[in-house]
Every structure is written in C-alpha cells, then in structure tokens.
Amino acid sequence: MREGFGLPWNILPLKYPFVRFAAAMVTGTMEAPQDCRGILRRISPMTDERLRAAMSVLDYASHASFVLDKNGWFSSILMMLELTITYGMTPEASVGFVGYAMVLNFKLHRQEAAYRWGKLACKVSKPNSRLHALAVTSFSVCYDSWRRYEPDFLPISADYVSKSALQSGDLWSANQSMLVNCALLFQFSHPLKDIYRRLLDYFPHLQRNNNILHGKQAAVLARMILDLTGYQEADDPYAEIDIQSKSFVEEVPGDDDHFLQESVYIYQYVTGYFFGQYEKAYFALEGCMRLAESRSEPLLDSSSHDYYRVLVLKERYAARTKREQAEDWLHIRRCLKRLKTMARRSPEHCLHKYLLAKAEAASLRHQDRQAETLYEQAWDTARANGYFHDAGAAAECYAKHGIARGKTRLAKLYMNEAYESYRKWGALAKTADMETKYGHLLNLKRETETDMERIDYLSVVMSAQALSGEMEMDKLLRMLMRIMLQNAGAEYGALIFEDDDGWKVEAYGTSEELSIQSIPLEQAQHLVPAAIISYTARTNEEVVLHDAAASGLFERNDYIKHKELKSVLCLPIMNQNKLICLLYLENNLSSGVFTEKRLDVLKLLSSQCAISIANAKLYSGIQFLKSSLEDQVAERTSALEKSMQATSEALAETTVYAERTRIAQEIHDIVGHTLTSTILQIEAGRRLLHKDMDSAVVRLKEAQDLVRHSLSEIRNSVHMLKEDKYYDIEASLRQLIQDTERNAGVVVHASIEPVPLMSFMHKKVIYHALQEGLTNGIRHGNSNEFYFRLEDDGSQVQFSLADNGRGASRIAMGFGLNMMRDRVQQLRGTLQIDSEPNKGSLLRIQLPHYT
C-alpha cells in the first residue's frame, strides 16, 4: 500500500523509527496523551491528499480485518498511528487511537493509558459523525478503563452516539452502536425500562436496512428485559419474534461465529438463574462454553460466563452424585481462577463477581465464617460500583445461605436488601417471584409509616403556627421552606411565584441556609431547572423524577446534568383551583426520595401553605394601603389590622388546641386499652413462670402479639382521623369485642343493630366509648362480664354498656371519661353513668341523628 501511494519506508522521525514504534505500541510504552487539547495543538492537520486517502483506506481496511484477521487489523492501526504522528491529524486518526486504546485495555491491561487514548479518539473524531459514533462505541467496550476514570461516560454518551451514526447515513454502524450501548447499559444495571424504551424507539431504523442479525440481537435483549420486568408495550414489535425457536438462530447472514446463538444462551442462563430455572441455565452455559472453544480467538471478557457458571453449579450441587460433584468442583475452581485474574485487572467491574463466586464456593465447603464475610464484601462492592442486579444476587445468595443455616434474622435482612436492589434495577417480575417464594421474609409494608404519620401531624401544627404567628411574607417563606424541606427529605428547594412581570424565584436554599430574594426565572438558571418550572407552570401537573440524571423527560437538561441530580420534585401549590406558587425540591444523595407517601404529606401541607401565603399577601396589601392612605383613614386601617391579627391568632390557638386534644384522645383510648390488656397478660405470665413454663411463654407471646397489634390499632386510628363514609363501624366494634375477650379473659354480650344515619364522628365516638368503657370496667371495676347494646330508636342512637364489676357510690371523671363527654357534647348528645357499690356500672349515651 505504501508503494501504491508513493510513500517511502523511512518517513518516520528519529524518535519513532518503524521498528521502535511497533515495539513501543506492542509493549504499551508509547507515551499516553495527558491532555487531548495539548496533543491536538502539537500535531498539525494533515494536508497531503495522498496521505488523507491512505488514512481513509486504512479506516475501512481495519473494519474488514477486525473480525477476519486480527494481525491485519493490528497492522492497520499501527500504520495509522505512524502516519498521524509523522504527517498530521485527520478524523480517521481516531480509528488508530481507539484501536490502540483497545490493545491497551484488553491485551496490556493498562487502563489509565487506554482511557487517555480512547478520550483522544472521541475528541478527534467529532467532525465526522460516522467516525465519532465508531470511536465512542469502540471505546465504550473498553469499560475497564472508563469505569475507573469516568464512570458516567456511557450514560452520557449512549443517547447521542446512535443519533450521530444515523446522521452519517451509516445504518450498520448506527445499529451496532445502539446494540452495544444497550447491552452495556444492561450489564451496568441501568434501569431496565429505559433500555426497553431505547430498543422500541430504535426499531424503525433496524427495519430500514433489513439487517437480520442486528434485528434478532435486539429482539433477544428486548425479551430478556420483558422477562425480568414483566412489562410489555401493547405495540411492541419484538413481541411476535420467537427467540427460542430452532429457526431463529439458523442461517443468519454475517453470523459465522454464531454470536446470535450466544446471545440466546446468555438470555437463557441469566433469566434461568434469576428465576430458579437452574437446569435451563446450566445447559445454556454449557452451550456458551462450546461456542467459545470452537472459536479461534478467546473471549475478550469471559467474566460473565464464569460468574454465572459458579452460581448455577452451586445451586445444582446438592442434587448431583459424588462423581458429578467432583467434576463440578473442578469447574468451579477453574472459573474462580479466571475471575480472580479479572478482578485483579478490573476491580470496578469484576471484584464483586469474584467475591460472590468465592462466597458460594466457601458455602459449599461449609466454611461459613469465610462465606459470610465474602457475601457481605460482594454485596458492598457491587453496591459501591452501581451494579444493582449483582448486589441483588449477592444479597439473595447470602439470604439463602442464612436460610440453610437456620439464621432467620440474617436471611430476612439480606432478602429485603436483594428485593430492594432488584426493584431499583426495575426487575419487577423478579421481585414478584421473590414475593411468592420468600414473602414471609420480606417487609412489604414499610415500617416507616408511623414515623411518616407523626411527621404529618407535626407539619400540620407547624403550618397552623405559621398561619397565625407569621404574617410577614419573608418570615413566612422561611418557615414554610423549612417545613417542606424537612417533611420531603429534600436537600435543597425553592419557591417560585408569578407576578405581572412573569415567574420569579422568591426563596431558595437549604434548611440551614435560606435566601429570600426576588430573581426572575430567566436569571435563575443556576438556582432551578427552568424547563421543569415552565412545564409545571403551564400544565399545573406535578413533576416527580426518581433518578433525574439517568432517565426521564428532563435527563438532558443542563441544570440536571451539571448537578447530576437524582430525586427531583416540582409541585404546584393550588388554592380554589388557582395556582398560587410552585414548590421545587431536590435530593442529590438518593434516588426515589419523593415517594407517594411523602408526596401525600406535601400535598396536604400545600393547602395550608396556600392559605398562609394568601393571608400573608392580604396582610402585605393591607400594610401597603396603610402606608399610602391619607392620615384621616390611618386609624381605621390600624384597627382593621389589629382585628385581623387578633382573629388569626385566636383561630390558630383554637386550631392548635383542637389538634392537640384530638391527638391526646386517640393516644389515651388506644394506648390505654392496649396497655391494660397487655399488663393482664404479663401478670398472668409472671404468675405462671415458676409453675408452668410453657403456659407462661404462651401468655408472654400473647402479650407480645398484643403490643404488635396495638401498632396496627394506632395506624387504624390515624386512618380514622380522615373522613371515610365507607368505614364499617359494626365490623370494627365486633373486632374490638373479640380482641378484648381474647386478651383480657372477659365475656362481652353484644347486641348491635344497623344504624344507617351515622356520620364519621358518630362512628368514632361510639367506637372509642366502647373502648374506654371496656378498659375502665376491667381496670377499675374488676369486671369480667359486660352487656353491650347499640340500637336506633328512630330519632337518636342509643348506646349502653353494663358490667358486673364492684361499682362505686361516686364516679370520678378521669381524663378518659372527660374526653368521652366532650366528644358526645360536640355532637349534641348526652352521657350518663349509673353505678352502685357491688352492683356494677351502666354507661349510657344518646346521640341525635346525623343530618
């Protein structure tokens, strides 16, 4: 080729004679570029048209020889580097740079140098769309390098690379870029639904050049995501493709090395392992091994095959014969040896795989202490490097190890960690499978619910205080921002208002450092993402992003990309269907912070905020009028201001008092009733402790169950605080009676008639009256038998509860009875208590019908 272009052999400068140049490249000692811009400044553009044509020929020759002749490909890369360093830079030089990066990464294992040469290739190729797509895609395969020095390289580049190739008109390169990027995103635990969306969006381009191999490879990846997520679009074009039929992998043009068959095998062993189909996974892994042995070139990265082979062999081990176990153990040791080598070369990518495989091997050998240390290390390492699916696998293996060893608490802890990791990945079919198999170990109901509800009450009270105590807008905004930030779990937030000049940021910052300053939205691009603010202002719809920088409608927004945001929320604050302002919140530490539960709390608080802001605006308006009116109306304005402030303070005090009283009533009724029953159980257990140990344990277990049940009762009561016309009072009363009979050892004769005209407050008063009456009868009257009746006489609800306790000549109205009387009086009802010594007590309540 040199002679064809008229190029002499001695064209290199003294520093790079041809033999020394080749030796420097082969050994990896050729200087790695420290700064792309510096390299570009030092090497001038290539001007000789013959040399530019030679670089173009070498570009296409290297593609043709990469699969067919690795030595020929290496020679082409070597010659392109020689021509570039000697005669100048061209976009085609990127092919040589990225080729050398691949040699450094896969053959010489010099990741830092590979990263620098790869980044140089991406920089040089930018003027040419086809070459740029080729350079970025080729460099993305060198993940051992960029995962260490630029972990976000692939998520950032994945979107524009395929588009760049499509713009060039090279459909083959565009298809290849899309497939490589989607496969790598899958490998690095990118959200599965986002990868699925990319495959669906790209399908029309796969049809344009009718490339059968690329279309079928995309179908395999789409099917694997479908199996893991359990989600499929109604118009999914991949749905009709049967990837497991024999004809699917036969006679595919351009697939002489059977890469499509290998893709199907990978699908089978990945899904087979995750869903417990270990025989299917085993035969697929054996197929992969046979394909690898049939090829002349070894796999660049066999870590996935070795990793899953150890996991699958471990799961099958117990059912194998001793001879088969010996063979399997030999395979496990070989896989561990290769994984150890890969982990040493690329700890970011392979260390967690090696640790988990080694943990499984130790578990097989009953080396439990070592296995448990390795399981935990594998889980920590996978999480630290962002491999959600491998973190899930490590946690699940650890949990199953705990189950086998009878360590239930350990199994429960790590099974929940596995469940959460798979959920973050988006593998909802896998989590559903775990719910079926390990539902008894999973905390499917979040234990933070009570805490959330307590925060809810605190926030309501604080909002009421803000309404009454702060009428000045600046102080009010500070207080409301802190309340919202604390309840949402956000790091940073802002309040945006609209006036005649447009939208303005009026408050922004953290709970520790807030700024009150009016800044037009156009000048606040560094404070909030203007695109999200504009969208919410236009549509009046909330925007919730659980991993903003990784996926979603606004992932390319400059503000989001620059701050690498995770959780983002923009909430419209409305009052009487009128938009008051916008609340913007963000959290850059965790994904999925703004859950439905927290969103409900914020929506509840937003109504309080809207009223507070409206009142503050009204107050500000009054202040403005006061300062601008003539002297003769100043006195009237001042009086009106004082009247409004006094009214607001009185209203706030009433609101706070009512809220505190209501919470006190709920705590007294529920906790008092529960503790009475619990004390009886514990006392019985204590008496039996030295007589009948088994019976004592039963009593104490019942007391434990009762305390646990009380948590459910408290949650139930919290739900009762909200109006619910479908609340079933009859069922709740019978459940209360049944629980009391079982836990306190008493008998309750009940006659409950349907009462149709009852409001929520009626139901609540009756429920807590029965609860308080039973508690007082057991605690103070030593009663063991009760007679309860609830009926409707046509005009009012009649409630009566009699007991056989010791009675009293005078009833002391304690806290609970006083609260009961107050509730009845609020409904315009009457309460009467009759009691005589040794004749028990009778509680009677009459409530007029709800109208």
How do residues 470-521 score in pLDDT, each as one tens digit?
667 777 778 778 878 877 788 899 999 988 888 999 899 987 788 888 899 8
Distances (CA, A) of 768 to 631, 840, 847: 58, 20, 14
pLDDT the model gives residue 606: 75
Question: Mean pLDDT score of the chain, rounded to an integer?
Answer: 80
Average pLDDT per 10 consecutive residues for the chain, totaling 851 residues: 38 38 50 51 82 86 72 82 86 88 85 88 85 86 82 69 72 82 86 88 80 87 93 87 86 79 91 93 91 75 88 92 93 93 88 94 93 93 89 94 92 92 91 92 60 49 57 76 80 89 89 86 89 84 81 73 86 84 87 81 75 74 67 67 62 53 60 69 75 75 67 59 63 91 91 84 88 89 93 90 89 79 90 90 90 62
Half-sphere exposure of residue 196, counting CA atoms within 13 Å on the CB side? 23
Distances (CA, A) of 759 to 339, 635, 662, 763: 68, 47, 17, 6
- DSSP secondary structure letter of residue 107: I
pLDDT the model gives residue 142: 85
pTM higher than the cut 0.75: no
CB 85 within 8 A of CB 124: no
Task: Calculate ∠ Cα 832-833-834, nearest 5°.
Answer: 120
CB 551 within 8 A of CB 194: yes
Q: Give all domains of the chain, ordered by start, each with its CATH number.
A: 1-145 (no CATH), 301-441 (1.25.40), 449-628 (3.30.450.40), 659-848 (3.30.565.10)
Which value, to the nearest 10 degrees, does the dihedral of the CA atoms of residues 434, 435, 438, 440 take? 160
Distance between CA 84 and CA 52 in Å, rounded? 10
Distance between CA 466 and CA 458 in Å, rounded? 12
pLDDT the model gives residue 275: 94
**In terms of DSSP bridges, do strands 785-792 and 747-752 run parallel, antiparallel, or are they unpaired?**
parallel
Residues whose CB is less than 8 angstroms from the CB of residue 435 and which lie 6 or more positions away in sequence, other chains included: 442, 444
Distance between CA 483 and CA 707 in Å, rounded? 32
Distance between CA 277 and CA 312 in Å, rounded? 9
Sign of CA dihedral 578, 581, 584, 585: negative
Per-residue pLDDT reduced to its tens digit, 379-404: 999 988 888 899 999 999 999 999 99
pLDDT the model gives residue 323: 94
Quote the crossing angle between the two packed helices 278-294 and 303-316, to the nearest 10°.
Answer: 140
pLDDT the model gives residue 279: 93
pLDDT the model gives residue 446: 46
pLDDT the model gives residue 19: 41
The CA radius of gyration of the chain, in Å to the nearest whole number, is 36
Backbone φ and ψ for 171, nearest 5 degrees, come out as: -65, -35
pLDDT the model gives residue 133: 83
